[in-house]
Chain A
């Protein structure tokens, strides 16, 4: 029973894990940073799309005059 509960360490060199655990687990940080970066990029692109949609709505419903600045 106790033997069953004990975690069996992954055999060395097992694919993804061997990469992620190497170099003081530095690549885990890389994975986290990349997830954040892609999340932010997704936001940037989506906001662009929304602004473009608003610009089109204004062009169609009011006029396509540039702002009076």
Chain B
């Protein structure tokens, strides 16, 4: 089985598509009308930016877990590189999701109370999820042998992936959270998301997943480059 290569031509096309797509999405996010609700007001527009961070984090976690699974099947170290880079970008988007959520909550849920963090289950468990992915990198750095590191990392990464739906969805809904979506699936619900906001929201999810793909591909390319230097015992970049 051939290891996946980087298709530069596809990448370059996608790069332009994502650049134009997300630019259009950002403009639409501000120019299009949103329902003006009390407490939320204009912050309803955060939906276009905050929620796609988590969708993108999950998409990246899927890509990462896929490559870890393939590593265990094939033993190709390039799979391990891809799993690692996808997990890293997953953490980037997850962190952005958490931080944007904190800011949003501060001025809506906790308006007038000067609270930034109140251990809301949804937020706490999202933070735990990021720690679980953080431990993946700590674990990796503790093993020197590349094959062993890849194998242990892959097994742990699959465990981390399995926790995602539970920590981000199942458990927060069993507890009292201020976060929307305690009943059903807010993103696809017919009542929680105003129809006028739906096109921009879906465009944002697709656009940010595309952006993940760009950053991820760039990082894989860089990792392969560094590996080539290492093959020749040349100093790292």
Contacts and interface: CB of A to CB of B under 8 A. Distances in A.
B232 A62 contact: yes
A44 B22 contact: no
Secondary structure of the B side of the interface?
Answer: helix
Interface string A20-41: 0000101101100110011001
Nearest to A67: B227
Interface string A35-69: 00110010011011001001100100010011111
Nearest to A44: B214
A51 B217 CA distance: 11
Nearest to A27: B30
B138 interface: no
Contacts of A69: 3, 76-78, 81, 224, 227
Nearest to B237: A54
Nearest to B11: A48
B42 to A, nearest CB: 6
A51 B227 contact: no
A54 B27 contact: no
Interface residues of B, number: 28
A47 to B, nearest CB: 6
A41 B16 CA distance: 10
Interface residues of A, number: 24
A30 B215 CA distance: 24
A38 B228 CA distance: 32
A31 B31 CA distance: 11
B99 interface: no
Nearest to B211: A44
B222 A51 contact: yes
Interface of A: 24, 26-27, 29-30, 33-34, 37-38, 41, 44-45, 47-48, 51, 54-55, 58, 62, 65-69
23 contacts: A24-B42, A26-B30, A30-B27, A30-B31, A33-B26, A34-B23, A37-B26, A44-B214, A44-B218, A45-B15, A51-B218, A51-B221, A54-B225, A54-B237, A55-B221, A58-B228, A62-B232, A65-B228, A67-B227, A67-B228, A67-B231, A69-B3, A69-B76
